Amino acid sequence: MTNPRQPLQTGPRIGLHTGIGGGLDRSVQRAAEKGCQTWQIFSRNPRGWTARPLDAAEVARFREERAAARLDPCVVHSCYLINLAATAPEVRDKSITAFRDELERCLLIGADYLVVHPGSARGGSPEEALTACATALHAAARGLEDRLHAAPLTILLENTAGQGEQIGRSFEQIRDLLALCPSLPMGMCLDTAHSFAAGYDWRDAEAAERAFRLLDETVGFSRVRAVHFNDSRAAFRSFVDRHWHLGEGEIGLEGLARVIRHPFLSHLPFILETPQDNPGDDLRNLEAARALSLRQD
């Protein structure tokens, strides 16, 4: 029998967020062309409440391209407008409807993970916001529970930088949200830039070890299912969300290496959300991530 505390020895699967312009299947082709082993997409316009339906032919092409490219797992990032912690009725209703659509689209295409930001308190207490987020998740999933448990799909709460009134900046809050949703298939997506800006210092060996220990004691390594692997342009404990190129930001290569080489995280999919302002930026960041994963120090 496998010891549940025995680190997994397989290396990370490294990939990018790729665009869906021209059809979902084009995202697979773009990821494969760049040598990705995994990848992340939006399944719809990330900055709009409405989305065009997915037709059967597009879904079939996506599934065929994915099987041919052997990309795994498929990570979908939910629409940016969704605020599951909102108390304003109009925003809350739109967020629940949009997240329901995200769930249905993920089930349709066979996605493995759906990443969502927990949302913003917007004047309420963090405790109220956590409860609001959990009830919104249940409302969005109502009637889909059997399909969710039969599918490979897991909802992943992404930790936030804590900007404004965002919830999810601490590992404790992610733990509490997961505890409020025991009937849903859920886990966590760890974002390195967000966690750094929120006060988890990956640069210092002792501070990083404390952060890893807290992550395990609260969320649990087994529930961390993916990593958004980004350097941070924002300063430590700034509570500002600014992704940057690997090794060129405030975390630096040493700090990032501690995450991608951690024995209880190194088997996970590592998705880069670094800027792509210039030709070759994504390939350089992919190469940097691969080099960090192979370090032996």
Residue 2 in tokens: 């496998």
Catalytic, 228? Answer yes
Does residue 200 carry a catalytic annotation? no
State yes or no: is 267 an active-site residue.
no
Find the distance separating the first CA and the last CA of the chain, reported in whole Å. 30
CA distance 270 to 225: 10
Neighbours of 143 (CB within 10 A): 8
CA proximity to 231, closest of 212, 213, 254: 254
CB contact at 8 A, 107 and 48: no
**Annotation says 194 is catalytic:** yes
Q: Is 158 a catalytic residue?
A: yes
Contacts of 200 (CB under 8 A, 6+ apart): 171, 207, 208, 211
Exactly one of 13, 30, 66, 77 is catalytic; name it. Answer: 77
Which residues neighbour 132 within 8 Å (Cβ) at sequence distance 6 or greater? 84, 85, 86, 87, 92, 119, 124
Q: Does 277 qualify as catalytic in the annotation?
A: no
Catalytic residue among 25, 158, 176, 201: 158
Question: Catalytic residue among 17, 105, 169, 228, which?
Answer: 228
Which positions ≥6 away from 216 have C-beta within 8 Å? 264
| Catalytic residue (one of 33, 55, 64, 80) | 80
What gap in Å lies between CA 8 and CA 278, rounded to an integer? 36
Q: Of 117, 223, 242, 245, which residue is the catalytic one?
A: 117
The catalytic position among 58, 72, 273, 287 is: 273
In the set 47, 52, 90, 297, the catalytic residue is 47
- Say which of 241, 245, 250, 282 is annotated catalytic: 241
Active-site residue flag, 80:
yes
Catalytic residue (choose from 13, 243, 258, 262): 243
- Active site residue: 176, 191, 201, 250, which one? 191
Q: Is the peptide bond before 89 cis (omega within 30 degrees of 0)?
A: no
243 is catalytic: yes
- Report the DSSP beta bridge partners of residue 14: 270
Is 77 marked active-site? yes
Instruction: State yes or no: is 273 an active-site residue.
Output: yes
* Residue with tokens 């809350």, as numbered in its chain: 92
| Catalytic position from the list 30, 66, 92, 194 | 194
Return the DSSP state at 52. P
Catalytic positions, please? Answer: 47, 77, 80, 117, 158, 191, 194, 228, 241, 243, 273
